[in-house]
Amino acid sequence: MQNLIIRNGLIVTAERQFEGDIRIRGDKIVEIGRDLPRREGDERELDAQGLLILPGGIDPHVHLTLPESVPATDRWVDDLTSGSKAALAGGITTVGNISFPQPGETPLATLKREIKLVQQQAIADVMFHPVLLPPIEAAIRELPQMVAAGHTTIKVFMPMEEFDQHVLAYLAALQAAGEMGILTMIHCEDWAIISATSQALLAEGRGSLRYYAESRPVVSEVVATQRAVAMCEATGVPIYVVHLSSERALRVCEEAQARALPVYVETRPLYLHLTQERYLDPGGAVYVGQPPLREAHDVAALWEGLARGTIHTVATDHAPWTREQKLDPALNVANLRPGTNELQVMLPMLYSEGVRKGKISLAQFVALTSTNAAQLFGLYPRKGTIAVGSDADLVLWDPTESRVVRGSGLFSRAGFSIYEGAEVTGWPRITIRRGQVVYKNGRITAQPGSGQLVQRGGTTGPAKAEK
């Protein structure tokens, strides 16, 4: 680690933009201003002329681990090392990993197992979201210890049979968690509707992934979102709706927000860039994620939600498979490998499609990809902004660089991208994680194990970035 001064960049936060220099000592920002004098101990200068200096991206939703009990054929292909490389090369310095338990494992045991992986594999900083599965009562008893250890999120899956079998216990968990400052992340799709629809399609001989969108209809997302909002309203604790995909589900959340309910919304790149006709393409199964791609009016509504501030975060839900895994002929609407390779291209594509085309402002881009997540996930102002005392997580962003997306050239082991051939303008040139240059000129310059587990406080609601 070197003491650094970054000079002459346009410093961008969710609140303001100004030209200036940033002095870094160790892992922290210690001074910000115009024409900072060189001082004893300054070892290195970086010239950011013509570049934007952004807070490191925070992607609160990735899949880079799996318990050993999952067989090799059903494992996504990135771990905390390849996933970190993709993240850092894409301007993301902190990832939030969904942590699945081994059968019967409680959240603390899951966390203990996964924290070891950070020490071995991570280059980006990492937070964990343990998945809540029965026995729920045992998990509820562990929540105070989780908070004490700085783990302030849990993840709940509504499209699992277990959810409908244990709704009362899940409601109790949500309430107990929220009252302790733990944010509950909820996947909103209805298990019964999806099961019935998928089975009907299979019975009609239409089980192939060409029919994937039909197998998980919008109404299954709407009713699950309504149910999650009802749980929020009944308990008074916040919820965070992951990967919201449809206009109707967004309206459910906006109606709740208008009544001042703490309903926070995430969407993912898939739903901002693609529509469901893609499933009809040859090899269209590569686009399968949960929920499915929707229609053009849904895409438009999500972009408007980003601009209006009713959607708070854009997260990758990075769950990468090889093309062969995605196109396995054994897969169908009831047997899926959901997820895509997104970590390295999410920010550039959001910048290119969103900021450059005037759909969102630069301030909103920073809020959606860093600041709001830092606030919601208990990391602010240590992360998510550029301020004296904050971690020196910074991205030197070249707003003019154009590249064509080539999956084979990305750090993910997926080996391909669903955005193959897209021309994208605006890419990270240098990424700094806690004061260390970790990505420069296309190369990762830090070692696995240099990433840290981030300990967190309780959730706070995001502030609104101006258009």
Q: Which residues bind Zn ion (CB under 5 A)?
A: 317
User: What is the smallest separation between the CB atom of 268 and Zn ion, expressed in angstroms?
Assistant: 8
The residue number with the shortest CB distance to Zn ion is 317
Cβ-based nearer residue to Zn ion, 83 or 428: 83
Do the Cβ atoms of 280 and 271 come closer than 8 Å? Answer: no
Beta carbon nearer to Zn ion, 5 or 80: 80
- In the complex, the smallest distance separating the C-beta of residue 153 from Zn ion, rounded to whole angstroms, is 13
Residue 390, both tokens: 């904050």
| Shorter beta-carbon distance to Zn ion: residue 163 or 427 | 163
Look up residue 367 and give its DSSP letter: I
Cβ distance to Zn ion smaller for residue 20 or 339: 339
Smallest separation, CB 292 to Zn ion (Å): 14
Q: Which is nearer to Zn ion, 4 or 331 (CB)?
A: 331
| Least Å from the CB of residue 26 to Zn ion | 34
Q: How does DSSP assign 409-454, residue by residue?
A: GSSSTT---TTTT-EEEEEEEEEEETTEEEEETTEE-S-TT-S-BP
State in angstroms the smallest separation of the CB of 318 from Zn ion. Answer: 8
**Minimum distance of Zn ion from residue 309's CB (angstroms):** 23
Q: Which strand (E) or helix (H) includes residue 376?
A: helix 372-376
Minimum CB distance to Zn ion smaller for 105 or for 317: 317
Complex with Zn ion: residue 309 or 320, whichever CB lies closer? 320
CB of 90 to Zn ion, least distance (A): 17
Residue whose structure tokens are 């693609």: 274
- Provide the minimum distance between the beta carbon of 289 and Zn ion in the complex, in angstroms, as a whole number: 8
Q: What is the DSSP string of 56-103?
A: PEEEEEE-----TTS-GGG--S--HHHHHHHHHHTTEEEEEEEEPPPT
Read off the tokens for 114.
């996964």
Q: Indicate the residue among 247 and 317 with the shorter CB distance to Zn ion.
A: 317
Strand 125-130 and strand 92-99: the pairing is parallel
> What order do you get walking across the sheet with 153-157 strand by strand?
153-157, 183-187, 239-241, 263-267, 313-314
CA 105, 110, 113, 114 torsion-angle sign: positive
State the Cα–Cα distance between residues 377 and 127, nearest whole angstrom: 9
CB of 76 to Zn ion, least distance (A): 10
171-177's contacts with Cβ under 8 Å and 24+ in sequence apart are: 171/231, 171/234, 171/235, 172/136, 172/140, 173/132, 173/136, 173/139, 173/140, 173/143, 174/231, 174/235, 174/237, 174/239, 175/235, 175/237, 176/140, 176/143, 177/143, 177/237
Q: Which is nearer to Zn ion, 21 or 317 (CB)?
A: 317
- Shortest reach from residue 187's CB to Zn ion, in Å: 7
Spatial distance between the Cα atoms of 49 and 19, rounded to a whole number of angstroms: 10
Amino acid present at 212? Y
What is the CB-side half-sphere exposure of residue 146 using CA atoms within 13 A? 30
For the bound state, the minimum distance from the C-beta of residue 111 to Zn ion, rounded and expressed in Å, comes to 18
- Burial class from Cβ neighbours inside 10 Å (0-12, 13-18, 19+) for residue 73 reads exposed
Task: Specify the residue, 317 or 398, whose C-beta has the smaller distance to Zn ion.
Answer: 317
Cα–Cα dist 340/338, whole Å: 7
Q: How far is CA 67 from CA 87, 184, 400, in A?
A: 22, 21, 41
CA 234/CA 237 separation, integer angstroms: 8
Q: Which is nearer to Zn ion, 59 or 317 (CB)?
A: 317
